[in-house]
């Protein structure tokens, strides 16, 4: 791996950071749109476990996670040459698409069983992303740890809701 830059020296770096974070927040917005179709209707009728967080917590948590994800991807983009970064960023993009797919499966299609399959795939892809990011930039991988922890919790929650309903 060869380093691209070691400091935030160009407008291109700042623009890229804004772009990476913006893409992640945009995916979050699309997921939020799918969620909003069901959160106050169908979702409120589901049996949920006692450890289900209140609805208001999801927005702030996901916003913080999407910002950290964008920064992580940007760090990899900055730290590696194009050929080295391409594969890890492709894995990142795939996990981001599957992340959106979970919102569509659970809230859009109202199918917790399908959502279990999607979130299990997401768990694996986020772990894979962290591992390939770690080869390029350790802090980028660490930025994904809260995301992995949150979706691990979300996996338990999703499986429990599926089983209860």
**77 occurs within a structural domain:** yes
Q: Residue range 96-109: average pLDDT?
A: 98
Give the whole-angstrom CA distance, residue 94 versus residue 84.
17
Residue 127 lies in a domain: yes
Any idea what the CATH number is for the domain that residue 104 is in? 1.20.1260.100
pTM of the entire predicted model: 0.93
> Taking 90 as the threshold, does the pLDDT of residue 11 lie above it?
no
Residue located via tokens 């960023």? 89
- Rounded CA gap, 158 and 84, in Å? 35
Q: What angle do CA 33, 68, 104 make, to 5 degrees?
A: 25
1 lies in a domain? no
Q: What value does the mean pLDDT take over residues 49-71? A: 97
User: Total structural domains in the chain?
Assistant: 1
47 and 161 in contact (C-beta within 8 Å)?
yes
Task: Tell whether 137 is covered by a domain.
Answer: yes
Confidence grade of residue 5 (pLDDT, cut at 50, 70, 90): low
* Domain ranges, residue 156: 11-164
Tell whether the model's pLDDT for residue 1 goes beyond 60.
no
84 is a domain residue? yes
* CB-based burial label for 60 (10 Å; 0-12, 13-18, 19+): exposed
Tokens representing 92 are 């990142």
Structural domain contains residue 106: yes
The answer to whether position 3 is within a domain reads: no
Question: What 3-state DSSP class applies to 43?
Answer: helix
Mean pLDDT of 61-82: 97
Asked if residue 83 has pLDDT above 80, the reply is: yes
Question: Span 103-122, mean pLDDT?
Answer: 98
Q: Which residue carries 């999801």 as its tokens?
A: 58
Q: How many residues does the chain have?
A: 165
Residue 42 lies in a domain: yes
């Amino acid at each position: 791996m060869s380093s691209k830059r070691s400091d935030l020296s160009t407008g291109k770096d700042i623009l890229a950071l804004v772009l990476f974070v913006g893409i992640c927040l945009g995916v979050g917005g699309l997921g939020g749109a799918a969620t909003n179709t069901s959160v106050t209707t169908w979702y409120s009728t589901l049996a949920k476990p006692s450890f289900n967080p209140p609805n208001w917590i999801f927005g702030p948590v996901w916003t913080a996670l999407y910002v950290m994800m964008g920064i992580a991807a940007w760090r990899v983009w900055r730290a590696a040459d194009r050929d080295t970064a391409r594969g890890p960023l492709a894995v990142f993009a795939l996990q981001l698409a599957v992340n959106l797919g979970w919102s569509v499966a659970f809230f859009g299609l109202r199918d917790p069983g399908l959502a279990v399959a999607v979130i299990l795939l997401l768990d694996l892809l986020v772990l894979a992303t962290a591992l390939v990011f770690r080869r390029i930039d350790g802090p980028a991988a660490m930025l994904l740890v809260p995301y992995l922890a949150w979706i691990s919790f979300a996996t338990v929650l999703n499986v429990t809701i599926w089983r209860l309903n």
